[in-house]
Structure 1
Amino acid sequence: MTVLYWVLAFVVLQRLAELAWAARNTRRLLARGGREVGARHYPLFVLLHASWLVAIALTIPADTVPHWPLLGLFALLQLGRIWVIATLGSYWTTRIITLDDAPLVRRGPFRFLRHPNYWVVAGEIAVLPLAFGAWPVALIWSLLNALLLRHRIRIEESTLQPRAGLS
């Protein structure tokens, strides 16, 4: 197997594990009285991420030698992803689930950024294809991600705003 396929296998397995973790957390949050907001756009995120991986697999020749510094940056972004998930713990999901009486998380990466997971994902979507020279994939999926995030962040902000004083 080539470096590209190892990296893609890692990302696919990581995303599948995260989806399982997110589904578990979602069920638990809903059982505690949480409610989902903005569910209609969720399938678009699934499609975006799946098509991004397919585009990488189909447009980059398997034997492409990566630009190692960019692949290293992608690895650092994975540490950021883990930091966000660990900080949110049982509150981390891939959906917008809110518990109206829960305070906002303000530790970990949330001390420095609003929506740190979205920053990490935006970096991943751009950096991974660029590490293999696929700038069109990086550009197209970054633009699509930005459009979806613009919509999602608006929904998330309006949902979280009433809870801002609970921290």
Structure 2
Amino acid sequence: MLRALGIWVLVILILGTIWPPALHLPQLWMVASVSILANILQPSYRPFEGSRTPEDRGTAAQILWTVYLTQAAALLELVWRRRVAIPLDLTTWAALAAMIGGLALRTWAVVLLGPWFTWNVTVQAGQQLVSRGPYRFIRHPSYTGALITFVASCVLLRSWVVALLAALTLVLAFRRRIRYEEALLVKTLPGYQAYISRTYKLLPGIF
């Protein structure tokens, strides 16, 4: 939480210096509020953590830095467009609902995994296959929730170019990590191969 607060204090100071009208946009404060809430609800992580398993292959860092860079780019697009007002219209409320819904999905997924949730690509002692809740339909609902949340945050700021870029780069980052995760899970977790045959990776009915 302190990290998120520190980041957003810095963001507000920078925006207040280079484009003060941005601080009057309710959408900016919506994004900040949900981002801070996400840090409260999610397990802690370290962007520069070195204690990764060999199976990770840099995928955690790729995901984290993709998130950081696309979120920064969304703010830059907001400044570049010099918006002095964004209407509190259907797009705003739909994007905010998507952010909250994505966070709720990710939090639900993390809670269901309990102690087996980890930032490392690993299978822990005694770990069992979880196939209830969102795991009944998709194998990586925590990634789906994160994807929805971060893309929706760009839409909320009307950073349309970065929203498309975030969707593409995050899907690629999650897809790469899933490949290594599932290769390990198939080898070490009983029943995972059959589980793959009846579920989707990220998006039900699509992928």
Query: TM-score, length-normalised on structure 2?
Result: 0.64
Counterpart code for 2:68: A
User: In 2, are the aligned partners of 1:101 and 1:163 still within 8 Å (CA)?
Assistant: no
Q: Secondary structure at the match of 1:133?
A: coil
Match of 1:94 in 2: 119
Structure 1 runs of 4+ with >6 Å offset? none
SS state of the match for residue 58, structure 2?
Answer: helix
- Give the C-alpha shift of residue 105 in structure 1: 1.6
Alignment CA distance shift 1:88-1:63 (3 Å): farther
Q: CA deviation at 1:8?
A: 2.9
SS state of the match for residue 122, structure 2?
strand
Measured in 1, the distance between the counterparts of 2:133 and 2:37 equals 21
1:155 aligns with 2:183: no
Provide, for residues 10-41 of structure 1, a one-character-per-residue CA deviation record: whole Å limited to 9, x for no partner: 2442454466x2449xxxxx9xxxx5621423
**CA distance in structure 2 between the aligned counterparts of 1:16 and 1:94, rounded to whole angstroms:** 14
What is the alpha-carbon distance in structure 1 between the residues aligned to residue 188 and residue 73 of structure 2? 39
TM-score calculated relative to the size of structure 1: 0.77
CA-CA distance at 1:62 after TM superposition: 6.7
Alignment RMSD, CA only?
A: 2.8
Matches within 5 A, 1:31-70: 37-60=55-78, 61=83, 63-66=85-88, 67=91, 68-70=93-95
Q: Contact 1:4–1:62 (CA<8 Å) still a contact in 2?
A: no
- The CA deviation at 1:143 is 1.0
Give, in angstroms, the shift of residue 48 of structure 1: 0.7
- Identity of matched residues, %: 24
State how 1:7-156 maps to structure 2 within 5 Å: 7-17=30-40, 21-23=43-45, 37-60=55-78, 61=83, 63-66=85-88, 67=91, 68-99=93-124, 101-156=126-181
Greater share of residues in helix: 1
Kindly provide the amino acid, as one letter, of the partner of residue 128 in structure 2: P
Distance 2:94 2:40 in 1: 26
* Compared CA separation, residues 62 and 49, structure 1 to 2 (3 A): farther
In structure 1, the gaps of 5 or more residues are 25-29
Contact in 2 for aligned 1:84/1:116 (Cα 8 Å): yes
Decide whether aligned partners of structure 1 residues 23 and 133 sit closer, same or farther in structure 2, where only a CA change above 3 A counts: closer
Q: How far off is 1:49 after superposition? A: 0.9
CA distance in 2, matches of 1:76, 1:15: 11
User: Aligned in 2, Cα 1:17/1:97: closer, same or farther, shift over 3 Å?
Assistant: farther
Q: How far 1:133 moved relative to its partner? A: 2.3
Structure 2: which 5+ runs fail to align? 1-22, 193-207
Which deviations, in whole Å up to 9, do the C-alpha atoms of 1:33-66 show, x marking residues without a partner?
A: xx56214232221211111221222222474335
Higher relative contact order (CA 8 A, sep 6+): 1
Larger CA Rg, structure 1 vs 2? 2
